[in-house]
Amino acid sequence: MASLMELKEIFRSADAVCFDVDSTVIREEGIDELAKFCGVGDAVAEMTRRAMGGTVTFKAALTARLGLIRPSYEQVQKLISDNPPQLTPGIRELVSRLHQRGVQVFLVSGGFQSIVEHVALQLNIPTANVFANRLKFYFNGEYAGFDETQPTAESGGKGKVIAHLKEQFHFKKVVMIGDGATDMEACPPGDCFIGFGGNVVRKQVKEKAKWYITHFDELLKELEER
């Protein structure tokens, strides 16, 4: 097991950094915001809490929550335009600094492609570097389920994405940063996990992560060290 010093060295010399999105890159949980927007906020927030605690499989929780929300295409688009996701303080600067250093940045999320791509655009991250769940709609715009073949639709999916990135781009060192159990589980194959508690603290992650931060400035400082 790597020490904190070794993890910091991996971060400083990483080829790629993968960020979770909900409650990490943005301040809110996208699915909870969508649920509130569609009038089923409380019921879905409780399901999210259980899913993030790691007590139910991610796919089961996602299926149940979306079954309650049943968002239409129009509702998703209106949510993005009326209540755009709020970036977490410091993330814009951190991503910009990583880009300057030639580090590839990816958004790996159990959230929804349309919302995550909107976030990527604000951070100058190419949409090809977005891995998220795709909602499906009928021709009339009604909810038709989600693409269950996406790796991010199931537990362990973020690790699969990292394994795929390593294989495709021959990355030697990949860092995963996030607030939840699904992010921590991505290492290995990720080489370093950094727990993030700036928006919400997940007890399990705070206790188990060797490196736990509450502000992205802490990572910016690490990059200034060399």
Q: Which pLDDT tens digit goes with each residue over 198-211?
A: 887 788 888 888 88
Residue 89 has pLDDT above 80, yes or no: yes
Confidence of residue 45 (pLDDT cuts 50, 70, 90): confident
**Mean pLDDT estimate for the chain:** 87
Q: Which residues contact 63 (CB under 8 A, 6 or more apart)?
A: 146
**Is residue 81 over pLDDT 70?**
yes
Average of per-residue pLDDT across 32-56 = 78
Contact 210, 192 (CB under 8 A): no
Domain ranges of the chain: 4-28+84-224, 32-82
pTM: 0.89
pLDDT in tens, 149-170: 888 888 788 999 999 999 989 9
pLDDT in tens, 171-182: 999 999 999 888
- Nearest Cα neighbor of 150 from 29, 58, 40 is 58
Domain 32-82 sits in which CATH superfamily?
A: Phosphoserine phosphatase; domain 2 (1.10.150.210)
Quick one: what percent of the chain has pLDDT higher than 70? 95
| pLDDT recorded at residue 65 | 87
pLDDT at 177: 92
Tell me how far apart the alpha carbons of residues 183 and 191 are, in angstroms, rounded to a whole number.
Answer: 12
The 3-class SS string of the chain reads CCCHHHHHHHHHCCCEEEECHHHHHECCCHHHHHHHHCCCHHHHHHHHHHHHCCCCCHHHHHHHHHHHHCCCHHHHHHHHHHCCCCECCCHHHHHHHHHHCCCEEEEEEEEEHHHHHHHHHHCCCCHHHEEEECEEECCCCCEEEECCCCHHHCCCHHHHHHHHHHHHHCCCCEEEEECCHHHHCCCCCCCEEEEECCCCCCHHHHHHCCCEECCCHHHHHHHHCC
- Under the banding of pLDDT at 50, 70 and 90, the label for residue 53 is low
The reply to whether domains 4-28+84-224 and 32-82 share a CATH topology is no
Q: Is the pLDDT of residue 4 over 80?
A: no
Q: In whole angstroms, give the CA distance from residue 212 to residue 184.
A: 11
Classified by CATH at the fold level, domain 4-28+84-224 comes out as: Rossmann fold (3.40.50)
Q: What angle do CA 179, 181, 133 make, to 5 degrees?
A: 80
Determine the average pLDDT of the residues in 17-23. 92
Q: How many CB atoms lie within 10 A of CB 4?
A: 10
* The pLDDT value given to residue 225: 61
- Compute the average pLDDT of residues 119-132: 93
pLDDT at 15 exceeding the cut of 70: yes
Flag whether pLDDT at 139 surpasses 90.
yes
The pLDDT-based confidence of 116 (bands split at 50, 70, 90) is very high
- Give me the pLDDT at residue 203, please: 80
- Laid out side by side, the sheet with 212-213 consists of 130-133, 104-112, 16-19, 174-178, 192-196, 212-213
Q: Give catalytic residues, as residue numbers.
A: 20, 22
